Amino acid sequence: MAKSPNRESFDKIFEKLREHHKWFENSIPLIASENIPSPAVRETMISDFGNRYAEGWPGERVYAGCTYIDDVEFECMRLAKRLYRAEFADVRPISGVVANLAVYSGFTSPGDVMIAPSIPAGGHISHGKREHHGTAGLVHGLEIEFYPFDAQEMTIDVDKTKQKVKDLKEAGRLPKMAMFGGSLFLFPHPLKELGDFLKGYDIHINYDAAHVAGLIAGRKFQDPLREGADTVTMSTHKTLFGPQGGLVLSSKEHEETIKKAVFPGTTSSHHIHHMAGKAVAFAEALEFGRDYATEVIRNAKALAEALSDIGFKVLGESRGFTESHQIAVNVLEYSDGGKVEADLEKANIIVNRQLIPGDIKAGRNYFHPGGIRLGVSEITRLGMKRDEMQEIASYIGKVIIDKKDPNNILSKVRSFRKDYQRVKFCFESSLGAYEYVKLG
């Protein structure tokens, strides 16, 4: 009998899912905001927790049926606090954007000013202006001012920022919140240098650790809670061991404000399976996080050096290219970030185009920016080391500098990938990293 159109759609979805898994098994995934979770984290994702509601705080839920959920959530909070040495952790925000929104709601009012990095200077759209549809401006009505940025040093300019804050105060636009952290994030931000100054003006400091959460957990990046941040927001799946989700950290002082801003302010169901997955990821980060973060940063430096050696213009050269999991490359000599992204994808090398300092002034936009951004978290989690970074740099060079047909590089990438099919830095890894799990 012929299949109904519904059944055809149904089958097609699973066909695409399986194709995606196969593709990633054969690719070099270099998106800096992505990572690969352990099989244990994936197991939490398919558990019945994902079908339940547990609104509110564990022990004080709005519905019955939360006995085991509460146990896991208490454990999850204990692990988060231990991992980040924080007095308070709210593990409920369902993503990094929602964590930021909770902090905006808790500590500012619409019309207040926030100072944050601009997007070419590494900022995230959730820190953005209303006219750019940024979350801070569009959803919470914040007015956004940008930090002065030093494109040579690839970080916030301390002296110019101090001057800007003084000028803003003069103009009656003193920021209520200062946002640190970003999406293009090569070097630690000057939190220690600016913290006391900002506090002198009673400015709330939030550090958005979405990208570097796994490096902070491994104690290999700046520690925002020790350097003066009042609150820390993050995604749990970029350098950290995932699942996708968010987290807010603070001292005891801000506990009640954050709790209310998260629920009922910005979540109803907090995606309980993801909460369980975060608990597993935190346990893995406590156990394996230091070794992992050390390897990530070594790999990022090695890949940056290898790319620079073959002729690429890698940003941050004067400072050794990177202190994080990321590398940024100016590709304008060859074409633009959009074209480079597309050419590399044909060779199964997955990167993203990136606005870099100077792009907006030069009239370039997000579709054709001057740069690409690479991240090494996922390939590090798969067990790749320094030799593999050399190899990857040479594939990228062949496609972009030598302009070889990406199809010819594709077969090399596929055979290179064969040996890296398990997730490392986790307790158990019996399932292939991209193995498709069929339940139905």
Ligand X SMILES: *Cc1c(COP(=O)(O)O)cnc(C)c1O
Cβ–Cβ under 8 Å, residues 296 and 325: yes
The distance of closest approach from Cβ of residue 1 to ligand X in the complex, given in angstroms and rounded to an integer, is 44
Residues at the interface with ligand X (CB under 6 A): 33, 95-97, 100, 124, 126, 181-183, 208, 210-211, 235, 246
* Alpha carbons 213 and 206: distance in angstroms, whole number: 14
Pick from 91, 297, 80, 337: which is nearest to 188 by CA?
A: 297
Position with the least CB separation from ligand X: 96
Question: In angstroms, how far is CA 95 from the centroid of its own chain?
Answer: 10
The distance of closest approach from Cβ of residue 255 to ligand X in the complex, given in angstroms and rounded to an integer, is 22
Identify which of residues 276 and 302 has a Cβ nearer to ligand X in the complex.
Answer: 276
The distance of closest approach from Cβ of residue 377 to ligand X in the complex, given in angstroms and rounded to an integer, is 13
Identify which of residues 322 and 348 has a Cβ nearer to ligand X in the complex.
Answer: 322
Classify the C-alpha dihedral 66-68-74-79 as positive or negative: negative
The distance of closest approach from Cβ of residue 381 to ligand X in the complex, given in angstroms and rounded to an integer, is 18
Burial class (CB in 10 A: 0-12, 13-18, 19+), 213: buried
The distance of closest approach from Cβ of residue 237 to ligand X in the complex, given in angstroms and rounded to an integer, is 7
Identify which of residues 181 and 338 has a Cβ nearer to ligand X in the complex.
Answer: 181
The distance of closest approach from Cβ of residue 121 to ligand X in the complex, given in angstroms and rounded to an integer, is 12
Identify which of residues 327 and 409 has a Cβ nearer to ligand X in the complex.
Answer: 327
Identify which of residues 33 and 231 has a Cβ nearer to ligand X in the complex.
Answer: 33
The distance of closest approach from Cβ of residue 32 to ligand X in the complex, given in angstroms and rounded to an integer, is 8
Cis peptide before 264 (omega within 30 of 0): yes
The distance of closest approach from Cβ of residue 416 to ligand X in the complex, given in angstroms and rounded to an integer, is 28
Identify which of residues 97 and 389 has a Cβ nearer to ligand X in the complex.
Answer: 97
Identify which of residues 370 and 375 has a Cβ nearer to ligand X in the complex.
Answer: 375
Cis peptide before 224 (omega within 30 of 0): no
Identify which of residues 58 and 96 has a Cβ nearer to ligand X in the complex.
Answer: 96
Identify which of residues 91 and 210 has a Cβ nearer to ligand X in the complex.
Answer: 210
The distance of closest approach from Cβ of residue 210 to ligand X in the complex, given in angstroms and rounded to an integer, is 3
The distance of closest approach from Cβ of residue 408 to ligand X in the complex, given in angstroms and rounded to an integer, is 34
Identify which of residues 101 and 306 has a Cβ nearer to ligand X in the complex.
Answer: 101
The distance of closest approach from Cβ of residue 300 to ligand X in the complex, given in angstroms and rounded to an integer, is 16
Can you give the chain as a three-state secondary structure string?
CCCCHHHHHHHHHHHHHHHHHHHHHCCEECCCCCCCCCHHHHHHHCCHHHHCCCCCCCCCCCCCCCHHHHHHHHHHHHHHHHHHCCCEEECCCCCHHHHHHHHHHHHCCCCCEEEECCCCCCCCHHHCCHHHCCHHHHCCCCEEEECCEECCCCEECHHHHHHHHHHHHHCCCCCCEEEECCCCCCCCCCHHHHHHHHHHCCCEEEEECCCCHHHHHCCCCCCCCCCCCCEEEEECCCCCCCCCCEEEEECHHHHHHHHHHHHHHHCCCCCHHHHHHHHHHHHHHHHHHHHHHHHHHHHHHHHHHHHHHCCCEECCHHHCCCCCCEEEEECCCCCCHHHHHHHHHHCCEECEEECCCCCCCCCCCCCCCCEEEEECHHHHHCCCCHHHHHHHHHHHHHHHCCCCCHHHHHHHHHHHHCCCCCCCCCCCCCCCCCCCCCCC
Identify which of residues 124 and 278 has a Cβ nearer to ligand X in the complex.
Answer: 124
